[in-house]
Amino acid sequence: MSDPSVSYDSNETIELFPYDRYESQQSALAERYQAKQPYNHHYFENFLEHDVALAMSREFPRHSEQTWIEYKHVNENKAGLHIRDRLPPLIGSVVDELNSKRFVELLRRLTGIEGLLADDSIEGGGIHQAQKGGFLNVHTDFTMHRSRPNWRRRCNLIVYLNDGWQEEWGGNLDFWAPDMSETVASYPSILNSAVLFNTPGALHGFPDPLKCPEDVARQSMQFYYYTVDESSSSAAHATAYHARPTDKPVKKFMIGADNIALEVYAWIKTRLGISDAFISRVLELLGRRKS
């Protein structure tokens, strides 16, 4: 079991996650979470201790400093890094803590999902960032773990590390109604806020391109939690994107076409055991050859 506190300089030891705060009010939180419709979820305004979140935002690696996976296609423009050994020290320690048995047990009580499991490989999760012009169209998440076919994704946790983020830059996490008729909730991605929500089925994203300065990025940590499901009736599917009512016909067509491509890509990943990182490196090499 991980130690929920860590020394991040020579003089001070900090608590990585304030368990006492949440465990003391877990019944009330669980009641609110499980009653929320159309998707069970909760928005936290001060998820971690402020000093912890601030230190993490300051050590967050810039896009040019690490080998990031590029997610750039019709439906998204962002980057991710889920290799544990390449994460900065404090961020890595918090990742370990939010995958610990104690934290997952807290999530189990809040969500009511029995048998909840953390993904130590943080496949598809880890740290993400989107720069000026970045976006993520409204979607429902993939359901099956790439290397564990009997794992089904059940809930997501997103922690934001954006010190000084301005409202006019956009980047709110929006939840949409199941019929895509309207936005049912919208949460700012400010420093030390977090969103926990059940998946699959939750329609969410930040579809409008970011308007932040060139030297600023929308920074987040992503965690996906699973349960084991041996039932063949529990169909697995890839990330599925949805057009908004205001999207133009051409964009709606492109979103649909990209969904087909992503289904094929997901099938290839599962059958051949390849990763997003591998595909990202191949595309990077091809880009260099073209240039």
CA distances from 103 to 1, 23, 46, 53, 162 (A): 10, 10, 16, 17, 23
Q: How far apart are the first and last CA of the chain?
A: 48
Pairing of strands 183-187, 117-118: unpaired
Q: What is the pLDDT of residue 261?
A: 76
Q: What is the pLDDT of residue 142?
A: 83
pLDDT band at 230 (very low <50, low <70, confident <90, very high): low
Lowest mean pLDDT, pick from 33-47, 65-79, 201-215: 65-79
Residue 275 amino acid letter: S
CA dihedral of residues 232, 120, 117, 174 (deg, nearest 10): -90
DSSP E strand stretches across the chain: 5-7, 13-15, 41-44, 69-73, 76-81, 117-118, 126-130, 135-140, 151-160, 173-176, 183-187, 194-198, 203-206, 218-228, 240-241
Average pLDDT, the chain: 87
pLDDT band at 278 (very low <50, low <70, confident <90, very high): low
Closest by Cα among 116, 117, 126, 92 to 275: 126
**DSSP bridge partners of 203:** 176
Q: Hey, what domains does the chain have and what are their CATH numbers?
A: 5-290 (2.60.120.620)
Contact yes or no for 130/123 (Cβ under 8 A)? no
Stronger pLDDT, 216 or 288, i.e. the higher one: 216
Q: What is the pTM of this model?
A: 0.87
